[in-house]
Structure 1
Amino acid sequence: MSKAKRLLDILLFVSAKKKFTAQEISDEFNISIRTVHRYILDLSDMGLPIYAEQGRNGGYTVLSSRLLPPILFTEDEAVSIFFAFQSLHYYRDLPFNTEIQSASHKLYSSLQEEAKRKVDQLQSYITFWNPKRAIETPLLKDVLEAAIENKNLHIHYESKSGTTTKHIHPIGVYAHDGLWYMPAFDFTKQKILLFRVDRIVSIIESEENKEVFVNLKEWFSSNYENKQPIRLHVLLSREGVRQCKSEPNLEDLVVIKEDGTGYINAIIDKGELNFISPLFYRLGMHAQIVEPKELVDILRQQAKDILSMYPEND
């Protein structure tokens, strides 16, 4: 049996037991105690965290079982992993950014030359572009871990009204348009609100949670329901159609006519008006709002605010 195969077998054995003696490995694999100690040193050099306990009843303890045994990938599987890495390339911050870079380096180093050439070509000819944000999100990983561990947080949050203290329960994080968002239950307002993760100035403290909240997947599903239904009716030029078809929240609502123009005539949630108003303001003459009146009023107020900054000279 090759040394590599023997090391893999021992790695699987000690990872399962966590506590073991050299004699146990010697008996299991029919090798000498001296060889066992040499193999344990090799595993330690490979990164397996093993602690040696001294004394008559001493032995070894695997401090962590999180080191995975070797996984054999086909060439196409390895290339597909780099394809997935490409989708994350334009995000400034990721929850496990250092680990992703480390995994990518280890995987690339293990590839044969032909596979490396495929990966290099992949990275040169395809990417998943998102606007590269200069805004840092240093607490992204902390927030995600709090959600996974079902913890409540007390945070300092920066908003239009200044920096305030929030008592929240995060239910997850998601990325959109280069930014990270966190739906969280606000204990003061007794409802789930949406927060920008980059606007979390600091986490004051965390606490154990005993209540049951929805998770991110459940929140997305329930969020599609229109809690305050309102009709959105918009007439679109060709350019208006093109831009609305590029918006994930609107693309399925656009109806295109034979001449390339189109319209939206659908029921949405009233709470979405503030999120979609910047798009229609930007479209200007390419989108005419028929209803709701609330969206027209938002656009009129935005136009007035801009005009007030540039008064006409007498």
Structure 2
Amino acid sequence: MKKSERMNQMLRFINQKQQFTLQDLMQEFQISKRTAIRDIASLEELGAPIYAEYGRYGGYRLLQQMQLPPISFNTGELHALYFAIQALRSFSNLPFQATFRSIHEKFISALSDKQRLEIQNIEHRVSFKHTEQIKDSENLEFLLMAAVQNTVIQIVYHNARTSRHKESSSSYVTNSNVRTIQPIALYAMRGYWYCQAYDLHKQAYRIFRCDRISSPQLTDIEPLDHIKELSLQDAHSLWKPSEQAIPFQCRINEAGMELFHQEHFPSMKLEVYAEQTYLVGSYEPHELEFIIRYLAGYGKSIQIMKPASLKQALRQYYLDLLEHV
């Protein structure tokens, strides 16, 4: 990092922190003690009102907050921002109703002529392949703010299940029910938005497809303390199958393991027995259609070992596909 850039970031750092030590600067900016001392002197020359406090618990204190210069980005940061903005292109729904077009236009208009030319050159050299959003999710902002503010909400959740008939190989039935949940986090994967949440009625961690959530409402229910501090990754540790959950086991090869690492869910994992790798997990009875479609994506890279009912359901799924060929 250039010294001028480090000075800019250091001004923002001490302006926010107000009180700091040499060790704080050394750790934050990965610099030596000697460099930290020189940088403080440079900041004072720039007019930063820094006061040195001596003694065992001494350090430095900013006498008053400063008027900071506008934020500037170096070339690498601009390119990184451009790549990040491209990730928004495939989403028709985003929290706070952000759209790719408006963000992209504001970003491009803020660039210098030289920077704009560099971005245009990147556009001609890099291709972004996205998974398009499959279903609209109208309540993302409400769900996200409920997670941020640790509030308990009530939703109507539309479970989609499949019933098979001779005259129709797969007809879909929607089963709606009211749920009381405490949202934890949102994430997007394979064209869908998902909400990690704690279901207060079932007293269990669950993942809800956001496009199946409707009529969200705030409640007066006190949020659970042990849920408040959970992060997106920590939430997976709460996963527990219900008493009705059906365990499954599939033998999986190396190609299948690569597919697993691309997409898997908290209810499944890889285990090794006698030098053979297996995909193991469980699914709820109403998730049969979901697990069948998921396992079908592995093709010949897996072999269902148990239960027999799952093997039969996958076989029927393939037969239904053949009828449409």
| Pairwise same-fold verdict (TM > 0.5) | yes
Match of 2:197 among 184, 191, 207: 184
Structure 1 residue 297 corresponds to structure 2 residue 309: yes
Q: Name the SS for the 1:150 alignment partner.
A: coil
How many residues align? The count is 233
**Partner of 1:173: helix, strand, or coil?**
strand
* Fraction of identical pairs, as percent: 23
The residue number in structure 1 matching 2:282 is 270
RMSD, aligned α-carbons: 4.0
Listed as ranges, the gaps of 5+ residues in structure 1 are: 1-11, 17-67, 256-262
Which residues of structure 2 form unaligned runs of 5+? 1-11, 17-67, 161-173
Q: 1:75 to 1:97 in 2, by over 3 A?
A: farther
Which of the pair has more CA radius of gyration?
A: 1
Shift of residue 226, structure 1, vs aligned partner? 8.4
Q: How does 1:176-255 map to 2 (within 5 A)?
A: 176-207=189-220, 209-214=222-227, 218=231, 220-221=233-234, 223=236, 232-236=249-253, 240-241=255-256, 244=259, 247-249=262-264
Q: CA deviation at 1:184?
A: 1.3
Name the residue aligned to 2:158. 158
**Which structure 2 residues correspond to residues 14-93 of structure 1 after superposition, within 5 A?**
70-93=70-93
Show the counterpart of 1:94. Answer: 94
TM-score of the superposed pair, with normalisation by structure 1: 0.59
Q: How far apart are 1:85 and its partner, in Å?
A: 0.9
CA distance 1:282–1:173, change in 2 (3 Å) = closer
Secondary structure, aligned partner of 1:151 = coil
- TM, length-normalised to structure 2: 0.58
Does structure 1 conserve the Cα–Cα contact (< 8 Å) formed by 2:292 and 2:313?
no
Aligned to 1:24: none
Say whether the 8 Å CA contact 2:196–2:207 is kept in structure 1: yes
Q: Could you list the per-position Cα deviations for residues 54-93 of structure 1 after superposition, in whole angstroms to 9, with x for gaps in the alignment?
A: xxxxxxxxxxxxxx97311123322221111112221221
1:50 maps to none
Change (3 A) 1:247 1:299: farther
What are the Cα deviations for residues 19-72 of structure 1, in whole angstroms up to 9, with x where unaligned?
Answer: xxxxxxxxxxxxxxxxxxxxxxxxxxxxxxxxxxxxxxxxxxxxxxxxx97311
Pair 86,124 (structure 1): closer, same or farther in 2 beyond 3 Å: farther
**Which letter does structure 2 place at the counterpart of 1:185?**
Y
Post-superposition offset of 1:147: 0.9
DSSP 3-state at the match of 2:262: coil
Distance in 1, matches of 2:116 and 2:80, equals 12
Counterpart Cα distance in 1 of 2:247 and 2:186: 27
Q: What is the distance in 1 between the residues matched to 2:260 and 2:313?
A: 26
CA contact (8 A) 2:187 2:195 kept: yes
Query: Aligned to 2:80, what secondary structure does the other structure show?
Result: helix
Please give the per-residue CA displacement for 1:89-148, whole angstroms capped at 9, x wherever unaligned: 212211144376555433321211221122223334435533213421111111101110
SS in 1 for 2:207: strand
1:246/1:89 Cα in 2 relative to 1: closer, same or farther (>3 Å)?
farther
Deviations 1:185-219 (A, max 9, x none): 11211111111111112213444634214368545
Per-residue CA distance 1:247-280 (angstroms, 9 max, x = gap): 3339x9599xxxxxxx961474434996654243
- Residues 127 and 208 from structure 1, CA distance in 2 versus in 1: closer, same or farther, beyond 3 angstroms? farther
Within the alignment, does 1:287 sit opposite 2:302 as a pair?
A: yes
| Partner residue, 1:140 | 140
The letter for the 2-side match of 1:203 is P
CA distance in 1, matches of 2:200, 2:238: 23
Shift, 1:167, TM fit = 1.2
